[in-house]
């Protein structure tokens, strides 16, 4: 039961923080996804209950693929394909790199 309540609380907290930071636009979403990737990698040695509550609940709500996709399309429409593709590639490279750094720390 503790895991369920932790999951709910951390999901709400992660969603709130994401909502606040996402008001910064694509850079905010990029930052959220990179930080979330790094933090999730740091959790890889925890048990299933902690990964469920913190990783899937908190960080799952903190990071956001839907806003990333929406921002990518919006950037393409407003600033062109090259900017949108740079945003997509930059998010992927930085997020995977952040996860790799997180894994190397543990």
Enclosing domain of residue 71: 2-105
Q: How many domains does the chain have?
A: 1
Chain-centre distance for alpha carbon 70: 14
Rg (CA), the chain: 15
Q: Give the global pTM.
A: 0.91
CA distance 42 to 69: 25
Q: Which two tokens stand for residue 11?
A: 């999901």
pLDDT digits (tens, 9 = 90+) for 8-50: 999 999 999 999 999 999 999 999 999 999 999 999 999 999 9
CA distance 52 to 20: 23
CA distance 38 to 97: 8
pLDDT digits (tens, 9 = 90+) for 48-101: 999 999 999 999 999 989 999 999 999 999 999 999 999 999 999 999 999 999
Has residue 106 got a pLDDT over 90?
A: no
């Amino acid at each position: 039961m503790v895991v369920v309540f932790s999951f709910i609380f951390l999901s709400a907290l992660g969603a709130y923080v994401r909502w606040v930071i996402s008001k910064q636009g694509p850079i905010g979403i990029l930052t959220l996804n990179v930080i979330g990737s790094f933090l999730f990698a740091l959790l890889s040695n925890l048990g299933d209950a902690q990964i469920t509550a913190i990783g899937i609940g908190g960080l799952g709500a903190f990071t956001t693929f839907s806003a990333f996709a929406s921002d990518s399309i919006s950037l393409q429409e407003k600033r062109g394909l090259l900017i949108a593709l740079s945003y997509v590639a930059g998010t992927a490279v930085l997020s995977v790199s952040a996860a790799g750094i997180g894994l190397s720390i543990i």
